[in-house]
Structure formats: structure tokens, C-alpha cells
């Protein structure tokens, strides 16, 4: 393994159903084998920081570098060897990572991704993977924390974030797995959502041999255009000036959401707060305009114009930049998008990665800033190519999903990618290796309404079902290892009491004629 440099020092990094049966470890000897890794395992450019065996139920302690993880209490879901390591990826960059190696291992390797601009090892996904007996590996994506400030004048850190970290995670992780178990993995898989979905897509495009099966949720593909779109969503509503006449308060956004449901909830035949096909919802904001003398429960012309722009595709110079915001998703990330401040993701990316400065006036943010992101494309991060040929030809399987209530990444973007791959490969249908599930009611990666849980992430583990019919990760395994490609995935509600079938694109789920069950139709 050679990343194009020789290791000098790591001091600065160190301080900062039939599917699951059969394999078993040798037992107590694993404790000694685990501890020995710290002193005996030698991997180029890599230092094993610690190797500790954890009994099932043991508290897992981790560095508090990400605010959203500060209150997380994590316990080992099964007895496992926890290996913490650092790999230097250049003279000025490196990744911090962990391998969770279950005592009872079924021969499968699982790499997990990241989110946002982080910076945060996905511990919930490591726990999820190891609970299903995958040898699971995750990294910090080349830096700690959620801020993009680390990108300032650090092109190698950007390279890690854009594409290199998951590849290194896979290459080094597989060597750790072989050293611990005394044999190579049989199949390798990947799981990630949002940034993690983009990372999985980039793996298929750039490193097609790393994984046999990739589960890429709500992928943040066409990355520069995506972040520009997020910035423009905020600008349409007046950000960064909360006194702008275009600004909408929280109560006004609730009014908008109620009107959207009034206009579109019944399009799918049921009143349940879920718009199954947002593409069919032609929201008319003019119905909310204030009449003469009216000041309550209505909106003023500047606000109406903001809504027209938000619920329309974003174009520049006649080119589609990004699909429109999905009606019905507006309340899920309201504060992030429309709280009055310019959103941190496009702010940090433009400032620190694209412009290499700390002095940008976001009060004048507009189309030229989007063009600048596109032109620089730091680290080649765009991730919007349809050339999946190498991944397809080696037998890889790509399974992706996207919530139709996703406020951070419009679900239409995943449809664009599907069409791009189809056109690039001259394949009218991609079913042999690439399947997309558009999920009604699912917000960004997890959460939402209806039945948004189908084993897609570690934080849905409490409702995860050990069956490929209800668990999309296991469905991917079944596809790779047994050739059973998924046409449907059954989602469950948060309380586990309700279910809904989610269908592979271009099919959609509707109630049958008797309104008794969900079926997939064209």
C-alpha cells in the first residue's frame, strides 16, 4: 500500500436468514489476539493506537470532537475487538479510524461513511454493522469535528474529505481484519448516507474494486451544485438578514406546510401527512397572500415570491443546477435553512475550501458564487458522473435510497443520477447492478413520518429487522451473495406497529383497490 509518500511522523495526529449463519471465532483466544495487535501489527503509514477487547454490553468511550455525539452513550452490541488506528495519507494529512471486529464473524467487511462536512466517526453505524457480525471500519474523514475551517489552505485534507478517506479505510481496514482473524474477508460492503452516500458513490466511480456492494443513502452528489442550492434556498428567504421582507418565521413556515398538505396530501389517495410523489405537487403559494386589511395567517408578496423560487428548480444561464425543494419537507430542517443565518455547509465550503479566505460577504451571495464552486471543484468532489462501467463489470451492486421528505438534499437529485448512469452506459434499465428506492415519508437519512425505518442506518437499529425483506443492508448482502435483487423493502414505523412497502424506482407504492395493503405500481 503506497499513498505516494513515506511516513515520517504521526505524533501530531495521535495527539489531536441464511444470510447470517455459520462463521464463529475460536473464543477466549481472541482477547489475547486483540491486545497483541497494538504491538505486533505493522501496516505501512499506519499506527495502531489501541486494541482492546470489549465484552458485549461494555461502555464504549470515545473522543468528544463532535457536538451531536456529546450526549451519546454507546455500548458494545456484541463481544468485539476495538482497534483504533491512524493512517497518514500525505505529509500534511491523515485519517483517524476504528475497526470493530466481532468475536462471532461471518466473513464480511463493512466500511461506513460520514455526514455533513465531518469529521465524526459514525459510531452508531460501527455498532450496527458489528451487531450483524460484519467486521466494521469507520474513519473521521481526515479531520475532527463538523467545521469546514480545517480546509483553509489544506488541500490534502480536502483530498481526504473528497475521496481518499474511505479508500484508505477500506485498504487498511481489510489488512487489520486479515491480521486479526487469520483469513481474508469473503465479501466487502459499504454503508453511508448524505456525505456518506456521496462517499459510496465516489467509491463506485473512483475505486470500484473496494466494495462488492454499496449502500448509498441520500447521496450528496453533484456536491458543489448541492451546496450552492442550499445557499440559494436561504438567500431566497432573506438570509443572512432575518429582517428581510422575504424572511418567514417558524409560525409562517407552519402555515406554508399546512397549505401544502391541504393542496397535495390527497394526491396519493390518503390523508396521512405524507406526499408520496412530491413531483406531482404543484404548490400554489398565492393562496396564502394577504388580502386587503389581513395581517394574520397570510403572507406578504416578498414572502410569496420567496416560496415560488424555493419550490422551483434552480437554473443558471439556462442550465439546471439543482432540482426543486420537495413540497412536504419544509419543517424538518427549517432552522438550518431558514432560521435567518446563512447555512454553515455552503458558507464553510465556499470560504475555506473554494476561496481559501475568511472574508466573504454572504449578504451578496448569488449565482457567481455557485459558478466559482463549480469551477474550482476542490478535490474533485463533485461526484456527478454516470461512468459506473468498471464497478458494474466486476459484479458490483449499488443500492441507493432517498427520502421524499428530505429537506437537505432534494430527492430529485437521485433521479437525476439514475438517469445520468442510464444515459452514460446506454442502459434503459439499470436493474442488473443499480437500484434506487424513493421512500415516502423519510426525511434526511432517518426520521420522518409513516414507515421510514428499513435498516438503513445505525440510529434505526432499534427497529431494524433481521430479514432482507425489511432491512436494506441485508437485502444488499442477499443481492451480492445470492443474486436476489430487491424489488421491495418493507419499512416500519417508529413504534414498530405499522409497515409500508417501498418500491424500486421507477415503481411507486400505493394502496390497493381495497385500501388494505401497499403495492408497487408503475
Contact 154, 91 (CB under 8 A): no
**Which of 185, 201, 235 is a domain's end point?**
185
Give per-10-residue mean pLDDT for the chain (522 aa): 36 36 54 94 98 96 81 90 98 98 98 96 96 98 96 98 98 98 98 98 99 99 99 98 97 98 92 95 98 95 99 97 98 95 98 96 97 98 98 99 98 98 97 98 96 87 76 98 98 93 95 84 90
Beta-bridged to residue 437, according to DSSP, are 401, 504
- Cell numbers placing 441: 415519508
**Cα–Cα separations (whole angstroms), residue 367 to 20, 306, 319, 361:** 51, 16, 12, 14
Residue 22 maps to a domain: yes
Number of independent structural domains in the chain? 3
Identify the pLDDT of residue 25.
46
- Residue 270's pLDDT is 81
Residue written as grid cell 461506513: 112
* Catalytic hit among 93, 131, 188, 194: 194
| Torsion sign (Cα): 114, 117, 119, 124 | negative
Alpha carbons 191 and 445: distance in angstroms, whole number: 12
How many residues in total does the chain contain? 522
Can you tell me the distance from the alpha carbon of 438 to that of 504, in angstroms, rounded to the nearest whole number? 7
CB atoms within 10 A of CB 3: 19
Q: Are 196 and 235 found together in one domain?
A: no
Q: Strand, coil or helix: what is 107?
A: coil
203 and 146 fall within a common domain: no
Catalytic residue among 268, 326, 406, 478: 406
Residue-level pLDDT at 69: 78
What pTM did the predictor assign?
0.94
**167 and 22 in one domain?**
yes
pLDDT at 14: 29
Q: Establish whether 406 is a catalytic residue.
A: yes
Alpha helices in 207-326 (DSSP H): 223-236, 250-264, 301-310
194 included as an active-site residue? yes
Judge if 316 and 446 occupy the same domain: no
Q: What are the residues whose beta carbons fall under 8 Å from the beta carbon of 292, sequence distance 6 or more?
A: none
In this structure, the answer to whether residues 453 and 482 fall within a common structural domain is yes
Q: For residue 167, indicate whether it is catalytic.
A: no
Can you give the three-state secondary structure of 55-104, one letter per residue? CCCCEECCCCCCHHHCCCCEECCCCEEEEEEEEEEECCEEEEEEEEEECC
- My answer on whether 181 and 71 are in the same domain is yes
Q: Nearest 5 degrees, angle CA 460-CA 216-CA 519? A: 70
How far is the C-alpha of 328 from the C-alpha of 283, rounded, in Å?
Answer: 10
Q: What is the pLDDT of residue 79?
A: 97
Q: What Å distances lie between residue 474 and 113, 129, 166, 438, 480, CA to CA?
A: 17, 11, 21, 18, 10
Residues 76 and 158 in one domain: yes
For residue 387, is it within any domain? no
What is the C-alpha to C-alpha distance for residues 198 and 474, in angstroms, rounded to an integer?
A: 21
Per the domain annotation, does 388 fall within a domain? no
Same domain, 351 and 438: no
Which parts of 365-447 fold into alpha helices (H)? 367-376, 389-393, 412-424
Structural domain range at position 283: 225-380
Q: State how far the alpha carbon of 232 is from the alpha carbons of 323, 342, 353, in Å.
A: 12, 9, 18
DSSP 8-state secondary structure symbol assigned to residue 442 = B
Is there a domain that residue 385 lies in? no
User: Exactly one of 133, 444, 470, 502 is catalytic; which is it?
Assistant: 444
In a domain, 386, yes or no: no
d(CA 16, CA 10): 10
216 & 231 share domain: no
Domain boundary among 346, 380, 414: 380
Residue 118 in any domain: the answer is: yes
Residue 266 grid cell: 390527497
Sign of CA dihedral 197, 202, 204, 208: negative
User: Does residue 160 sit in the same domain as residue 49?
Assistant: yes
CA distance 76 to 102: 10
Among 185, 208, 235, the domain boundary falls at: 185
Q: Which helix (H) or strand (E) holds 342?
A: none
β-strand partners of 387: none
Give the CA radius of gyration of the chain. Answer: 23
Residues 247 and 149 in one domain: no
Are 410 and 464 within one domain? yes
Amino acid at each position: 500500500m503506497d499513498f505516494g509518500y513515506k511516513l515520517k511522523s504521526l505524533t501530531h495526529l495521535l495527539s489531536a436468514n441464511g444470510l447470517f449463519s455459520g462463521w464463529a471465532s475460536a473464543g477466549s483466544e481472541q482477547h489475547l489476539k486483540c491486545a497483541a495487535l497494538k504491538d505486533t501489527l505493522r501496516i505501512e503509514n499506519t499506527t495502531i493506537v489501541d486494541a482492546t477487547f470489549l465484552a458485549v454490553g461494555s461502555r464504549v468511550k470515545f473522543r468528544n470532537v463532535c457536538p451531536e455525539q456529546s450526549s451519546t452513550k454507546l455500548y458494545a452490541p456484541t463481544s468485539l475487538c476495538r482497534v483504533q488506528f491512524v493512517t497518514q495519507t500525505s505529509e500534511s494529512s491523515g485519517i483517524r479510524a476504528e475497526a470493530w471486529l466481532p468475536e462471532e464473524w461471518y466473513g464480511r467487511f463493512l466500511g461506513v461513511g460520514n455526514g455533513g462536512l465531518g469529521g465524526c466517526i459514525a459510531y452508531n453505524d460501527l455498532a450496527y454493522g458489528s451487531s450483524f457480525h460484519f467486521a466494521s471500519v469507520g474513519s473521521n474523514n481526515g479531520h475532527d469535528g463538523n467545521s469546514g475551517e480545517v480546509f483553509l489552505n489544506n488541500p490534502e485534507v480536502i483530498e481526504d474529505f473528497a475521496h481518499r478517506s474511505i479508500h484508505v479505510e477500506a485498504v487498511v481496514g481489510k489488512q487489520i481484519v486479515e491480521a486479526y482473524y487469520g483469513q481474508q474477508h469473503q465479501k466487502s460492503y459499504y454503508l453511508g448516507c448524505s456525505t456518506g452516500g456521496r462517499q459510496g458513490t465516489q467509491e463506485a466511480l473512483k475505486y470500484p474494486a473496494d466494495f462488492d456492494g454499496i449502500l448509498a443513502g441520500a447521496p450528496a452528489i453533484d456536491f458543489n451544485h448541492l451546496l450552492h442550492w442550499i445557499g440559494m434556498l436561504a438567500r431566497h428567504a432573506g438570509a443572512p438578514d432575518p429582517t428581510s421582507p422575504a424572511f418567514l418565521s417558524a409560525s409562517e413556515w407552519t402555515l406554508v406546510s399546512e397549505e401544502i398538505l391541504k393542496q397535495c396530501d390527497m394526491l396519493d389517495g390518503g390523508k396521512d401527512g405524507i406526499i408520496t410523489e412530491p413531483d406531482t405537487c404543484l404548490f400554489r403559494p398565492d393562496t396564502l397572500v394577504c388580502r386587503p386589511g389581513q395581517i394574520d395567517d397570510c403572507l406578504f408578496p416578498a414572502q410569496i415570491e420567496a416560496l415560488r423560487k424555493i419550490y422551483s428548480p434552480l437554473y443558471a444561464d439556462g442550465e439546471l443546477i439543482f432540482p426543486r425543494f420537495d413540497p412536504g419537507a419544509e419543517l424538518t430542517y427549517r432552522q438550518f435553512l431558514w432560521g435567518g443565518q446563512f447555512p454553515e455547509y455552503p458558507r464553510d465550503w465556499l470560504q475555506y475550501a473554494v476561496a481559501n479566505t475568511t472574508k466573504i460577504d454572504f449578504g451578496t451571495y448569488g449565482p457567481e458564487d455557485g459558478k466559482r464552486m463549480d469551477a474550482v471543484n476542490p478535490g474533485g468532489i463533485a461526484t456527478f458522473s454516470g461512468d459506473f462501467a468498471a464497478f458494474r463489470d466486476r459484479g458490483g451492486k449499488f443500492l441507493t435510497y432517498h427520502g421524499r421528505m428530505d429537506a437537505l438534499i432534494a430527492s430529485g437529485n437521485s433521479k437525476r443520477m439514475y438517469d445520468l448512469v442510464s444515459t452514460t452506459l446506454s442502459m434503459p434499465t439499470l436493474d442488473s447492478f443499480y437500484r434506487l428506492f424513493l421512500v415516502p415519508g423519510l426525511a434526511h437519512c432517518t426520521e420522518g413520518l409513516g414507515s421510514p425505518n428499513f435498516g438503513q442506518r445505525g440510529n434505526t437499529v432499534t427497529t431494524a429487522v433481521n430479514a432482507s425483506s425489511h432491512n436494506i443492508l441485508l437485502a444488499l448482502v442477499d443481492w451480492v451473495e445470492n443474486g436476489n435483487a430487491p424489488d421491495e423493502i418493507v419499512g416500519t414505523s417508529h413504534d414498530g406497529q405499522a409497515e409500508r412497502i417501498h418500491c424500486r424506482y421507477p415503481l411507486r407504492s400505493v394502496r390497493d383497490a381495497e385500501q388494505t395493503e401497499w403495492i408497487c405500481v408503475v
